[in-house]
Amino acid sequence: MAGPGSRAEFVRRPGTAPRSLTVTPADRRKAARAAALAVGECAHAAGLPPSGGELRLTGDVPVGLGMGSSTSDVIAALRAVGASYGVRMAPETVARLAVRAETASDPLMLDDGRPVLFAQREGRVLEVLGPALPPLVVVGCTLGGGAPVDTLSLPTADVDDSDVRAWERLRGLLRRAVATGDAALVGEVATASARRGQLILRHAEFETLCSVARRSGAVGVQIAHSGAVAGVLFDPAATGLRHRVRRCLHGLRAHGIPTTRTFTTSPTIPAKELLDGPAHRRGDRPAGPDTARRPARMPALRNDEGGLRARRGTPPARHGGGTAR
């Protein structure tokens, strides 16, 4: 999902002790650990003495919903420290340091967009499933009223041979779905995965979510493995897509499930065009700097800072510091 992200700026203080690091906001402890690890790695690579510095973080990823806010902060911090030393770390190095900083990491450091099976506690790719997921339309929502989930307090599931066989079956189905571009099969795998996740998460609205998805002609549902953010998945090639999506939105709201934003997984298929039809170009007035902006049709998840403008990437270091998104 394009939009939400984290931005970090790191300013080195040469001559200070490597552990003399300050971070703003002060509660971003995982990002602070990541910065300390990156200082040692990047200083060695650059042939410079390690030093302390100041890390500043900003962003608009909601916390505690399973959207990867901590990993976004950690990766931004790692890239910022690297930029301040003039070092661009390989994704494999970023993954290794991210796991050390936060125990388990999302694969956000992988920029090529390919779907992978990622060992989150090891920081390595086990399998590249294919070039891209089939295009999907996602109606986003939050369960539990959007309350954050304390993932560290969640119980650990007991795993036996039957679980391993079930996961391997889902892995095979997902591999086939990616190879054949089968959106319905992706939805089947996502729903099965979400259902197994309920053994830990136990969202009260899960069955309601599945029921709304079935009645609106969706291919399945997805739920964050460590939070409350969810989505209803549609095949963009399905007939009557706009009617299906609107029926889904109505059904979710009727059951008190807050909706967030509707988006597509394909950058070449804008959600607005799918839901509103293709734009009419004849007679359109070119947008100028004073053209009024129309409000978005779908509300978006926001934190107190608002906005959905942060983008990923690593611009060059400036004024002895570094930034990363």
The list of the chain residues with pLDDT below 50 reads 279-325
Specify whether 244 is located in the same domain as 315: no
If one counts the domains in the chain, the total is: 2
Residue 55, token pair as written in the block: 């890390």
Q: d(Cα 237, Cα 134) in Å, to the nearest integer?
A: 11
Cα radius of gyration (the chain): 21
Specify whether 147 is located in the same domain as 174: yes
294 within domain boundaries: no
CATH code of the domain containing 80? 3.30.230
297 within domain boundaries: no
Burial class (CB in 10 A: 0-12, 13-18, 19+), 164: exposed
Specify whether 226 is located in the same domain as 313: no
The residue segments making up the domain with residue 195 are 134-264
Mention every residue, 6+ apart, whose C-beta is less than 8 A from residue 103.
121
Specify whether 201 is located in the same domain as 226: yes
Specify whether 250 is located in the same domain as 141: yes
Specify whether 120 is located in the same domain as 184: no
Specify whether 108 is located in the same domain as 150: no
Q: d(Cα 66, Cα 104) in Å, to the nearest integer?
A: 13
Specify whether 48 is located in the same domain as 140: no
Q: In the prediction, which pLDDT does 135 show?
A: 93
CATH code of the domain containing 211? 3.30.70.890
Q: In the prediction, which pLDDT does 310 show?
A: 30
Residue 107, token pair as written in the block: 């694969």
Which of 264, 291, 316 terminates a domain? The answer is 264
Cis-peptide into 25, omega within 30 deg: yes
Residue 301, token pair as written in the block: 């998840």
Specify whether 108 is located in the same domain as 34: yes
292 within domain boundaries: no
301 within domain boundaries: no
Q: d(Cα 59, Cα 311) in Å, to the nearest integer?
A: 10
Q: In the prediction, which pLDDT does 167 show?
A: 92
Specify whether 111 is located in the same domain as 146: no
The amino acid present at 270, given as its one-letter code, is P
Q: d(Cα 46, Cα 86) in Å, to the nearest integer?
A: 7
Mention every residue, 6+ apart, whose C-beta is less than 8 A from residue 150.
64
285 within domain boundaries: no
Q: d(Cα 12, Cα 8) in Å, to the nearest integer?
A: 13
Type and span of the H or E element at 83 = helix 69-84
273 within domain boundaries: no
Mention every residue, 6+ apart, whose C-beta is less than 8 A from residue 205.
143, 144, 255, 257
Q: Would you tell me the crossing angle of helices 91-102 and 69-84 to the nearest 10 degrees?
A: 120
1 within domain boundaries: no
Specify whether 141 is located in the same domain as 185: yes
Specify whether 91 is located in the same domain as 65: yes
**Where do we find the tokens 């979510």?**
209
Q: In the prediction, which pLDDT does 156 show?
A: 74
Mention every residue, 6+ apart, whose C-beta is less than 8 A from residue 163.
157
Nearest to 251 by CA among 265, 232, 273: 232
Q: Do residues 129 and 115 lie in contact, with contact meaning Cβ atoms separated by under 8 Å?
A: yes
Residue 233, token pair as written in the block: 């998945």
212 within domain boundaries: yes
